[in-house]
Structure 1
Amino acid sequence: MSILIQNGTLFLPEGPVKADLRVEGGRIAAIGPGLPVGDAQVLDASGKLVFPGFIDTHTHFEMNKGLPNETADDWFTGSRAALAGGTTTVLDFAEPERGASLASALETWHRRAGGAACCNYGFHMTIKDWDQRIRAELRDMTAAGVTSYKVYMAYDNLRLPDGVIYEVLQAVAEEGGVTGCHCENGDLVTQGIRTQKAAGNLSPAAHPLSRPAAVEAEAVTRYLTIAELAGAPVNIVHLSTARGLEAVRAARARGQKLYVETCPQYLLLDESCYRLPGFEGAKYVFSPPARSLADQAALWGAIRSGDIDTVGTDHCSFDFHGVKELGRADFSQIPNGLPGVEHRPALLYTFGVRAGRMTAEDLVRLLAEQPAKLFGMWPQKGCLAVGSDADLTIFDPDWRWTIRASEQVQNVDYTPYEGLELQGRTHTVLLGGEIAVREGKVLRERRGRYVRRGPAQFWR
C-alpha cells in the first residue's frame, strides 16, 4: 500500500510548494497537486512542513567501548534519538586502532550499527596512521561506500604531521572524496592545559582558556594552506570562531574549494556556561569549546551569507554522573563531548527560522541538501524528488514544548539545552517509505540501513 501525504508545504529543491506527495516501494513515486487517493494510506499534513529526512554529518555513537568513559548512547539509543528528532541518516566516525587497518575499523562499526540502528547510517573514516598499506586501502573503502575521511591536528593519540595530512588530502581527492579536519593546534592546546594547571586553575572554567580562538584560527589557516598546496577540496568540521571564519573566507577568495560545518552548540551556547556554580560547567566541556557572543553572532551571519555548508551535532554523549565527574579534580580529565542529535532540527527551527536568522529553505540546505551532496548521497537522500528515497520529516511549526532531560530519547543523564522553550517539532518521520515516528514517538526500531555513498558532488 502506498502513502499519500496531503495538504502540507513540501520543500522541493526548487523551493516550497503546496502539493501532495505519494510514497510507494520505499521511494517517492509522485509529487503534484490533487494526487488521486486510490488505496493509499492518507497522512494529513495540514499546517505542517514536509522536509527531506535530515542528515547529521557528525556523530560519535558507542565510542570508547568498554572504558569507564564510554559514551552513554550506543548505536541503538543514539540512532533512535536521531530518528525521533527528524534525522533519518547519520554519518558516524569509524576509528581504527593505532596500527590497524581501515578495513578493521569498518568491520567494527558495521558490527556495532548493523541490526541496531534505527535510522540510516554511513561512516566517515578516521586516518590515524599513514603508509602505503593504508593508502592502498582507500580504493577498497570507495568500493565499500566510504568516501569521506577525517584527520586531526589535535590530540596526541590522533593527530598527524602536516606533511602526512598533505599526502592524505591528495590521495583522498584522487578517489573523489573529501577530508574533514579537527582544526586546533595540538601543541598549543597541550601548552594551554599545562599553563592553566600550573596556575591552579583546575575547574571547568579553565577549559576554554586552555584552547582560545587563536588556537582554532591558526589550525584552520594551516589546514587550508596544506589543502591549497595539495590541490584538494576539504571540509572543516565544527567551526566555532569568527577568526576561523575569516580564514575560510580568505581561502575562498583565493579560489579554494572548501566546505564548513558548524554545530548548534556554537550557535546557542557561549563561554559563560563554564562559569556555572559547582561542577555544572563540566556538562559543557567539548572541543572546540563554546565561544563568545561575538563568535556566535559571526556564525549566524555566516549561515545567512551561505558561508556555512552543513550543521552537524558532534553528538558525543557522556553521562554527567560518574563520567564527566571523572574530571572533578582536573578539568583536563573531563571527557570531551555533549549530546545533541535529538534536538538539532527543533533548535535550529526555533532559534534560526523563527528568530529570523535563517529561512526554512536554509534549514533544508544545511541539514539535508548540502550534506547529501558533499557526502555522496544526492539525489537519493537529501531531497524531495520523484525517485528519491522516501525518507521524510513532517514538521509541526506550531508545536510548543520545553526540552527536558527527563523526557528525551537520548540515553544520557542531561541535556545542555535543559529548559529551553521551543516552537516547532518533528511530528512524523518516514524511513524507507514506512512511518517510523508519529507525534514524536518512535514506532519502528532497528530498521536503519547502511548507505553506500558515492563521490562528493561539489557545488562551490
Structure 2
Amino acid sequence: MKTYQYDLVITNGVCATAADIASYDIAIKDEKIVLLAPPGSLARADARNIIDAEGGYVTPGCVDCHVHLEEPAMFGNGSSSDTYETGTRSAVAGGCTTVSAFAPQQKKEPSLLKALRETHARALRNSYCDYRFHMLVGNPSEQALEELKAINTDEGLEAQNLFDPKYHSHSRPLVLESEATNRAIALSSLISHTPILLVHVSDPGATLRIWQAQTNGQPIFAETCPQYLFLTRDDLAAPGFEGAKCVCSPPPRDKPSQDAIWTRLRNGTFTTRLPLVFSSGRLSPTKFVEVVSTSPAPAKLYRLYPQKGSLIPGQMIWRIWRYSLFVDWVAHRVLNRGFGGGFVVLVPRFN
C-alpha cells in the first residue's frame, strides 16, 4: 500500500481564524495540521487527497453547544425529531464538526451512568461528527449522586396547549426574560466563581444584564439562536401554518430587539450558528469564527480548544455563491422552519 507524505492538502484557500485572515495551503497528517505553506505551493504535493478551495474561506468547524438528538420524552409521549444519524449529518452539512447533545436521565431511573451509556451507545456508530453530552439529571437519587464521582473521573465530566401563533409572543413578554436573566445572574453571584450558561437569549434587557455581569468579572456565558436574528414577531402573524412554523421559546421579538441581539453578537456577549449568520454580512470573517467556533464560547468554554476552534482537523471551506433556501434541501428532519424562501450567499462546501 502506498504511503503518502500527507493525508490531506487544501490549496488556494483563504484561512480565517478568530485572530486573522491569510492565504495558505494546509497539509494534514494523522488528523493534525503539519504545515501551512504559501498559496498554491502544495498543489502537487504527495497527498492522499487534495482539495482546491478555489479562493473559498477555510475556517475551523463550528461547535454547536446545544442540540437535541434522539431524546426520549421527559414528559408525556414523543421524542426528538432527529436521530444522531440525521442530526449530525445535518450538522456537517451546515458546517458543524462538533455537537453537544443531551443525555437525559428519566425520573423513574435511579442511575445516571446508565442514562449516559445508553445515550453514548445510540451516538457511537451513528454520528457524522464529534459529539459530547450535557447530562440532564431527572432523578437526583443517592445512586446518581454517588455516580457523579465516577462520571467525573472516567467519563470526562466538566459540567400541550395550542394557540394562535401570534399570541405566543404576547404571552411571553420581554420583561419576563429580562427578570429571569437578572435573577439567575444575581443568585449565581452569591457563590463566587460559579459559571452559568444562559441559552436562547432574545431580549435586549437580558443582553445588557449579561454584558454588565461579564464586565464585572462574573463567569456568565450566553448563546442566542438564528430565529432571534432573522425572524420577528410579525412572522408569527403569518396566515395558517406559516406563522406556526416560527413558534419557538422565547418567541421572536420586535425589530429593535433583533438589532440589539446583532449588536451583542458583534461585541462578543454571546454566540450562535452558521450559514445564515455568515451570509448576513453583519459579522466579519474573523468575528464569525470567534462567535461560532473559538472564544469565549464554544470551543474554549467547553475545553475543546485548540482541538476545536482553530485551523486543525475540523476546518471547513465556505463557497461564495447565492443559494435559495428550500425545505427539501435540509439534512435534518424538521422541515417546517421559518427560513424557507430566503437565501444564503455562503455555505460550507467541504468539512
TM-score normalised by L of structure 2: 0.89
Q: Give distance in 2, aligned partners of 1:225 and 1:348.
A: 31
Q: Which residue among 37, 49, 52 is the counterpart of 1:44?
A: 52
Q: What runs of 5+ residues in structure 2 fail to find an aligned partner?
A: none
**Structure 1 partner of 2:260:** 298
Q: Give distance in 2, aligned partners of 1:43 and 1:252.
A: 41
1:258 aligns with 2:188: no
1:423 aligns with 2:348: no
In the superposition, relative to structure 1, how do residues 361 and 7 fare at CA in structure 2: closer, same or farther (>3 Å)?
same
Q: Give distance in 2, aligned partners of 1:23 and 1:208.
A: 49
Alignment of 1:89-104 (within 5 A): 89-98=98-107, 100=109, 101-104=111-114
Q: Give distance in 1, aligned partners of 2:317 and 2:118.
A: 33
1:358 aligns with 2:319: no
Task: Work out the percentage of aligned pairs sharing the same amino acid.
Answer: 32
**Structure 1 partner of 2:233:** 271
Q: Give distance in 1, aligned partners of 2:183 and 2:73.
A: 32
Alignment of 1:170-319 (within 5 A): 202-231=163-192, 232-308=194-270, 310-311=271-272
Secondary structure of the structure 2 residue equivalent to 1:284: coil
Identify the range of structure 1 (35-44 vs 364-373) with the bigger mean alpha-carbon deviation: 35-44
| Matching residue's letter, 1:127 | V
1:124 aligns with 2:134: yes
TM-score normalised by L of structure 1: 0.69
Which structure's relative contact order is higher, taking Cα pairs within 8 Å and 6+ residues apart? 1
Q: Is the 8 A contact 1:240 1:266 kept in 2?
A: yes
Q: Which residue among 115, 120, 126 is the counterpart of 2:125?
A: 115
Q: Is the 8 A contact 2:17 2:286 kept in 1?
A: no
Q: Give distance in 2, aligned partners of 1:108 and 1:283.
A: 32
Q: Is the 8 A contact 2:85 2:128 kept in 1?
A: yes
Q: Give distance in 1, aligned partners of 2:130 and 2:123.
A: 10
| Matching residue's letter, 1:246 | L
**Structure 1 partner of 2:86:** 77
1:8 Cα shift?
0.6
In the superposition, relative to structure 1, how do residues 69 and 222 fare at CA in structure 2: closer, same or farther (>3 Å)?
same
| Matching residue's letter, 2:310 | C
| Matching residue's letter, 2:301 | L
| Matching residue's letter, 1:138 | L
Q: Give distance in 2, aligned partners of 1:223 and 1:134.
A: 25
In the superposition, relative to structure 1, how do residues 140 and 210 fare at CA in structure 2: closer, same or farther (>3 Å)?
farther
**Structure 2 partner of 1:392:** 315
Superposed structure 1 runs of 4+ greater than 6 Å apart: none
Q: Give distance in 2, aligned partners of 1:39 and 1:270.
A: 52
Q: Which residue among 145, 153, 173 is the counterpart of 2:156?
A: 145
1:35 Cα shift?
4.5
1:88 Cα shift?
0.8
**Structure 2 partner of 1:378:** 305
1:133 Cα shift?
4.6
Q: Give distance in 2, aligned partners of 1:37 and 1:125.
A: 47
1:131 Cα shift?
6.0
**Structure 2 partner of 1:160:** none
Q: Give distance in 1, aligned partners of 2:128 and 2:117.
A: 19
In the superposition, relative to structure 1, how do residues 345 and 364 fare at CA in structure 2: closer, same or farther (>3 Å)?
same
Q: What runs of 5+ residues in structure 1 fail to find an aligned partner?
A: 149-192, 312-343, 430-460
Secondary structure of the structure 2 residue equivalent to 1:208: helix
1:132 Cα shift?
5.5
Q: Is the 8 A contact 1:62 1:75 kept in 2?
A: yes
1:142 Cα shift?
2.7
**Structure 1 partner of 2:324:** 402
Q: Give distance in 1, aligned partners of 2:18 and 2:229.
A: 26
Q: Give distance in 1, aligned partners of 2:304 and 2:294.
A: 9
